[in-house]
Amino acid sequence: MRIFRALNLTLNMRKLFSILFISFGGMQINCAQQDSIMFDRIYHESFYNGQAYDNLRYLTKEIGHRIAGSKKADQAVVWSKGLMEGLGLDKVYLQNVEVPYWDRGPKEKAHIVETGEPLNVLALGGSVATPINGLEAEVIEIELLSDLRKYGEQVRGKIVFINKPWDESMVETGVAYGLNAGQRSRGPGEAAKLGAVAFLFRSLSSSAIDDYPHTGGTRYIDGVDRIPAIAISAVSANRLSERLKENPKAKVYLEQHAAWKDNVPTHNVIGEWIGSEFPEKIITIGGHIDSWDVGEGAHDNGTGTMGTLDALRTLKALGYKPRHTIRLVFYMNEENGVHGSMAYGRYAKDKNEQLIAGIESDAGGFAPRGFDIKASASQVEWMQKHWKPLFEQKFWVSRFLSGSPGVDSGVWGEHFPNTTMFNFRPDPHRYFDLHHTDKDVFEAVDRRELQSGVAAIASLLYLVDQQIDELHKK
């Protein structure tokens, strides 16, 4: 009795445990029942003893944001290698990756010249600096890059300001993000081709009343001038747009000091739990350990790394022995170059490894909803029939739909087109409120939601390990 109370087991749990122990003793129970019992144990372990939340606190509060190439990123590498070693995995190592290093420098400044009204801005990742004393220019406001052509020579010497609102009608905020993100990437190059002196971009935020600028990657066109590329908060974008209606000649002052530094040698962090039956067949699971250089990289992607690590810890704590090798990978540099996942794919390809499945977590740590799956239609259908019922009613995880793998899995997956891929999907409503901003901090993560996600991922990992051979026959 005492031990059960110490474990905080309810009567029902105790019954289940008894059944489990009996089954170990030789009695037969069917597979779905076994899986269901395993799920109960996983959820119990994750909610009661989960460490994702406490590890996340360390990563966000003690280390903080960690752009690839920075000292903080290396600190995260060393610390998370220690975490993996603490799990007692069979092999923990660093994989060399060379990354570009972009340094934001001192805080950006921006205001409307005529009114002095401040604008909340944040340089886009990879942007070059303004002149050291800033720049001042008139503004051309457009919604779509394609509108720029109409302005022709008028663009020369101006700031191009893309002010396309977020499509708020979409529950699937990732799609809304995708609708506008292309202009963030292509904008600086297209604007520079026409002689613009800077590129100002309405932040990709799901809230129209958001006063935080959201950074994110952008790029230039070889052979075309590189101009400063800067994100502006939705509220500041609205303010600027109003002023431009009143005075189309209004000027904006921009000052920022970002710079590319020398490439930096750094690492992916890898831990392996060797399979007992098929050690050569590898299930890759993980997410990126780097973040943007704002906030604390909590939902993006502290929850993904600390969550997948805790999924392994959960199975280990339950005495689980994997059939296949489970390889935990913390990729470096997802945010601005994906050099970590490129390196991972290249090494695996060179060694002719058998990467049979990939699981990625890089969409935040909100309440778990399910997985986007890259597999054949008949395989997805089989998982909907056999796996989804284990999750749906009791654990509120019900999304098992065909979809894209995460960014890192997608990149290394180019070498492994037949790998079955799972992209963990937490609730999407709030993610793009804080994505790539100073708001993405530890306090924005809820422990129950995070540990519920850990349990969902651990449960999926268990099913993949147990049943992937069966799945691959479908």
Q: Would you tell me which residues interact with a copy of itself (CB under 8 A)?
A: 5, 8, 10, 13, 40, 43-44, 47-48, 143, 165, 167-169, 171-172, 179, 206-207, 366-367, 369, 392-396, 398-399, 401, 427-430, 433, 446-449, 452
Please say which residue, 348 or 445, places its beta carbon nearer to a copy of itself.
445
State both tokens at 318. Answer: 């339950």
Supply the minimum distance, in Å, between the C-beta of residue 412 and a copy of itself: 27
Please say which residue, 278 or 400, places its beta carbon nearer to a copy of itself.
400
Supply the minimum distance, in Å, between the C-beta of residue 306 and a copy of itself: 17
Distances in Å between the Cα of 209 and the Cα atoms of 213, 231, 236, 342, 445 are: 11, 15, 10, 37, 21
What distance in Å separates the CA atoms of residue 365 and residue 125, rounded to the nearest whole number? 23
* Residue 412 neighbours by CB under 8 Å, 6+ apart: 284, 341, 342, 344, 345, 348, 355, 358
Please say which residue, 126 or 428, places its beta carbon nearer to a copy of itself.
428
- Is 34 exposed, middle or buried (CB count within 10 Å of its CB: 0-12, 13-18, 19+)? middle
What one-character-per-residue DSSP string does 424-453 give? EEE--TTHHHHTTSTT-SGGG--HHHHHHH
Number of C-beta neighbours around residue 5 at 10 A: 8
Supply the minimum distance, in Å, between the C-beta of residue 378 and a copy of itself: 18
Nearest 5°: phi and psi at 93? -155, 165
Supply the minimum distance, in Å, between the C-beta of residue 39 and a copy of itself: 11
Q: Is the link from the previous residue into 301 a cis peptide, with omega within 30 of 0?
A: yes
Please say which residue, 145 or 179, places its beta carbon nearer to a copy of itself.
179
Number of C-beta neighbours around residue 386 at 10 A: 17
State both tokens at 212. Answer: 């935080």
Nearest 5°: phi and psi at 198? -160, 160
Please say which residue, 143 or 242, places its beta carbon nearer to a copy of itself.
143
Supply the minimum distance, in Å, between the C-beta of residue 385 and a copy of itself: 14
Please say which residue, 168 or 280, places its beta carbon nearer to a copy of itself.
168
Please say which residue, 69 or 428, places its beta carbon nearer to a copy of itself.
428
Please say which residue, 44 or 435, places its beta carbon nearer to a copy of itself.
44
Supply the minimum distance, in Å, between the C-beta of residue 425 and a copy of itself: 9
Please say which residue, 109 or 388, places its beta carbon nearer to a copy of itself.
388
**Residues across the chain:** 474
* Residue 375 neighbours by CB under 8 Å, 6+ apart: 383, 402, 420, 421, 471
Supply the minimum distance, in Å, between the C-beta of residue 3 and a copy of itself: 15
Supply the minimum distance, in Å, between the C-beta of residue 269 and a copy of itself: 29
- Is 334 exposed, middle or buried (CB count within 10 Å of its CB: 0-12, 13-18, 19+)? buried
State both tokens at 416. Answer: 């492994």
Nearest partner of 234 among 140, 168, 179, judged by Cα: 168
Supply the minimum distance, in Å, between the C-beta of residue 205 and a copy of itself: 11
